[in-house]
Structure 1
Amino acid sequence: MKLVPRIATASLLLAGLALSGCSSSPSPSGAGSSSSASSSTDSAATASPGGGTGAGASSAAAPVLEPLPAAIPDALQHYYTQKLSWHSCNSGFQCSTLKVPLDYAQPAAGDISLAVVRHQASGKGSTRLGSLLINPGGPGGSAVEYAEYAAMTYPAIVRSSYDIVGVDPRGVAGSTPVSCLSDKQMDAYTATDSTPDTPAEINTLVAADKALAQGCEKLSGKLLSHVSTVDSARDMDVVRALLGDAKLNYLGKSYGTFLGATYAGLFPSRVGRMVLDGAMNPSLDALDLNQQQAGGFETAFNAFAADCVKSSSCPLGSSTEQADRKLDQLLASWDAHPLSTGTSRKLDEALGTTGVIAAMYDQQQWPQLRGALTQAERGDGSGLLSLSDQYYERDSSGHYSNLMYANAAVNCLDLPTAATGPEQVEQQLAAYRKASPHFGTTLAWGGLTCAYWPVKPSGEARTIPAKGSAPIVVVGTTRDPATPYAWAQALAAQLDSGTLLTYNGDGHTAYARGSQCIDGAINVYLLTGRTPAKGTVCK
């Protein structure tokens, strides 16, 4: 669920790996101190950026995700007892593959492969705490790539205690992947007008969504019905067993929080130490998720604009009011007259919007966005195109990862579509625009992707109490663009053992991104199981 103006339901939710090259500030090597935290929630922390009052509240109508039987079914025993054959890969890492059933309801119907990587703990003896499975989000983000990053940059005290393990979920990257379009087709898809103004433009957008769906069905039809978050959570339990861990220790970011919470709901007795950072609210339907996320991006842009206008060189003006007007003018101008980029590709409104949104994930990218907007003012769209390409994981040779294909496949399976056709989108536009004057229209039309998906959704919005689980720490950032803070409040509240840890700041997710307060609190929890004090706010 990555925003991406052209993909699926609640935008793609990644921890920033693909967007910023994982250029987070170095984390302290020790457990750290939470001395900069406040144990009383202030007004900034309790606000609901991105959705207004109660925006992230759990839906009373959402049914409860019930746990699976604790006993492992006989038909799955051979998956749980297979042997992982590890081999050296990269520097200091080990790689392997494992088999899981394509269909858990019919395990005899065939297998798919999952790619797994680990970096063994540097500590010895009693300091080793087993495996820490990590996921960067998406859906569609490569946990293998993220593990290779985390094993080098997460706090040293955590890396010395845990084997850092990443498994590409089913449908993603090194595991049996979803495929949909050629690179050339994907170039056209990402540039499709995401704010159609005429019937002809609406028809073009619908045709692009249908072409994506048809391409996925043609190239990955057998897999599409079996890439849900529930399927991936069940895969994680197989991985847990093969790693030799009685309980799953897990750190999920962004969409990875939904994956982790789903695991906790299905297997509460097997939850070890679990951190859910940049949380989703699983009790919201696709429409609510989309509209509230639109508000999250609006909040993030407001923070960027307030920072930008402090500089005399800000390309958006000298006040936030000017910045709002200027962005609208730029978007409209790119729609009417796409910019040259020094390549055969033009920067239109769709790609430009993606470039702006991409920089919202990490305030460390704000200077890059200022520079890109300055270039755009001069008729050069190359800077914004580069940000957009980072977002879509398009490399310099023009090749796309399968991030966006997996993203659509999982989103369209997990929840019923936010809109069934253009007429319904047009009815929803006013609410989207109220939540986000700048980005609401784009996200409204992005909710149409799943309307044409070739397989019906198998999931629905659910409340996840995970009764009987060990304590779970939920981390929320007050001005998070992709996962509004209210979602973290809601998830922590619905989890029976949830504890909310708040970061009063900007950017998407908080752990290992430079806050000693956040890192210290999470490190203590991962090492000792002691949760942060209730109401802890880091600044």
Structure 2
Amino acid sequence: MEQSTRTRAPQSRRNAAYVTFVAATAALAGLTTPLAASGSPQAAPPQLLEWTACDGTTADPRQQCATLRVPLDHADPAGPQIGLAVSRIPSEQPGARRGALFLIPGGPGGSSLNDPSGKGQKLPQEVRDRYDLIGFAPRGMAPSTSLTCGLDHGDLAVSKLRPWPAPDGSLTGNFATARRVSDACARNGGELIKHIDSATNARDLDRISAALGERKLSAWGVSYGTYVGAVYSRLFPHRTDRIVLDSNDNPDHTRVQRAWLAAYEAGAEDNFPEFAKWASAPGNPDRVARTAAEVRPLFLRLAARLDHEPLPRPGANPPRVDGNELRQTMLNSLHDPDGYPTLAQLINAAREGTVPPAPPAPAEPVLQNVTAVATATVCNDLAWPGSPAAYEKDVAESRAAYPLTAGMPRNGTVCAAWPFPPKQAPVRITDRGPSNVLLVQNERDVATPLSGALKLREAFGRRAVMVTVNATGHRSYLDNGNACGDRLVSRFLATGERPEQDTYCR
């Protein structure tokens, strides 16, 4: 018989790591949670969590799971409810416990449900002693109440949902895809699809924190999770304890995800030279050129050839490799230097008129779920222009200035045809609140480049200190960073000691 434990009502010892996203309220005495300082309805008293063994196999048998009911619409707390899947591994040293450390996933479309058993176990012992590690599946992500748009198989291809222009720069195909995907999401997404956005994700975190009995939370947010963490820290600044934001998104509230997509221009330019050095190194079994200077023109020539002479790739989606598939593989590979061989092997094979087998893809139900949640979040956060004319000039300029990314970063996504208006304005990140945020950022990051991270640092002002790491790849702390950056972040989480000023880790 499975054992079940019950989270106790709020106690002063149950205080701390619930992460990133909600508004300043001075009322810390109780666990009822105001939505914001805007007269929004207050939340109902927190539900207590019933912890049981997790379904399926997890890497660590200590991980427990529970389901929390939260409002579909936080503005209507007494209305329909949905389920959020939550997980935890308790502090390994209860006498040293400070609180709960929320592991905020990237994406949108990511889940941290198994992260307490995964990346959470990379944390130093002193950090695992101080915190319960908390994971969750954001709203819409299975096994939380899940979302699907029921898309055609072909529309699940990354290079279809990423708006790569046609070889001649035309956007016609992109906007046909946008209309088709938006229609499917409106038809199949139900009410849930209208209530998935970044501010709502932050408010869900506040509900989880309350159900855990925490009056403050600590967090480790990565990639898109840095934006959720920043929003939480803005909406609920006095509910935050120690906040680590790793691989940081530009917080521009006038553009939100449009700015993140546009950042791939700089990100690719920052990172491609590192790939070129690796891909030209003597002794590399996947070497593509004799010198680093040869790699970029070789890549551009091959992409242009594949634009007009694609190669078949049976079993893949799409079942061919054209120029945009090569470019998408480049972006994927530049996320992590461990991915460089994938790009190099595709380049070498395509030059000879063949292609390697497609990498294994997630099961289609997983792709449907991830795609629906990612699309809903991006499109509900901010209204995008709806006319192709709004993008044509920008795309043409981008294609000329940044040929590696061929205009994609400034193109219109599915959101250009999205049928639902945003339910709330994007949250503007400011310096109001306690000085308890540590940003960690690799100098060369294709997805969240340093230029955007500096914008978040500027927005936080006195609230934040930033550690810039001389490293390449997306995700810095305990992943693609270096020992100096890892040491500073671990010290902050374990002791609260933070660098006195912005720091560069060579």
One-letter amino acid matched to 2:290: S
Separation of aligned partners in 2, 1:118 and 1:448: 36
3-state secondary structure, aligned to 1:483: coil
Q: For the Cα contact (< 8 Å) 2:346–2:355, is it kept in 1?
A: yes
Match of residue 242, structure 1, among 211, 228, 232: 211
The 1:316/1:436 distance shift into structure 2, 3 A limit, reads: farther
In structure 2, stretches of 5+ residues that fail to align are 1-21, 35-39
Q: What is the Cα deviation at residue 163 of structure 1?
A: 1.4
Separation of aligned partners in 2, 1:503 and 1:415: 31
Residue range with higher mean Cα deviation, 184-193 or 233-242: 184-193
Q: For the Cα contact (< 8 Å) 1:257–1:280, is it kept in 2?
A: yes
1:343 aligns with 2:343: no
Q: For the Cα contact (< 8 Å) 1:248–1:272, is it kept in 2?
A: yes
Separation of aligned partners in 2, 1:375 and 1:123: 52
Separation of aligned partners in 1, 2:309 and 2:181: 26
The equivalent residue for 2:404 is: 438
In structure 1, stretches of 5+ residues that fail to align are 1-64
- TM normalised by structure 2 equals 0.84
Match of residue 508, structure 1, among 447, 460, 474: 474
Separation of aligned partners in 2, 1:430 and 1:244: 53
| Per-residue Cα deviation, 1:386-437 (whole angstroms, up to 9, x for no partner) | 2xx6xxxx326796252222111101111231x4322222111244235522
Q: For the Cα contact (< 8 Å) 2:127–2:490, is it kept in 1?
A: yes
3-state secondary structure, aligned to 1:137: coil
Q: What is the Cα deviation at residue 340 of structure 1?
A: 2.9
The equivalent residue for 2:70 is: 100
Q: What is the Cα deviation at residue 119 of structure 1?
A: 1.4
Residue range with higher mean Cα deviation, 142-151 or 231-240: 142-151
Greater relative contact order structure (CA < 8 Å, 6+ sep) = 1
Q: For the Cα contact (< 8 Å) 2:149–2:372, is it kept in 1?
A: yes
The equivalent residue for 1:538 is: 505
Q: What is the Cα deviation at residue 190 of structure 1?
A: 4.3
The equivalent residue for 2:19 is: none
1:247-396 to 2 correspondence within 5 Å?
247-283=216-252, 285=255, 286-311=257-282, 316-343=288-315, 345-382=319-356, 385-386=358-359, 394-395=361-362
**4+ runs deviating over 6 angstroms:** none
1:422 aligns with 2:388: yes
Q: For the Cα contact (< 8 Å) 2:260–2:448, is it kept in 1?
A: no
Residue range with higher mean Cα deviation, 253-262 or 337-346: 337-346
3-state secondary structure, aligned to 1:503: strand
The equivalent residue for 1:453 is: 418
The equivalent residue for 1:5 is: none
| Per-residue Cα deviation, 1:120-143 (whole angstroms, up to 9, x for no partner) | 222231x22221101221111111
The alignment's C-alpha RMSD in Å is 2.6
The equivalent residue for 1:54 is: none
One-letter amino acid matched to 2:274: A
Q: For the Cα contact (< 8 Å) 2:199–2:427, is it kept in 1?
A: no
Separation of aligned partners in 2, 1:198 and 1:522: 46
| Per-residue Cα deviation, 1:258-285 (whole angstroms, up to 9, x for no partner) | 0001001000111111001111121251
The equivalent residue for 1:211 is: 180
Match of residue 53, structure 2, among 88, 106, 122: 88
The 1:66/1:111 distance shift into structure 2, 3 A limit, reads: closer
The equivalent residue for 2:194 is: 225
3-state secondary structure, aligned to 1:304: helix
Q: What is the Cα deviation at residue 332 of structure 1?
A: 2.1
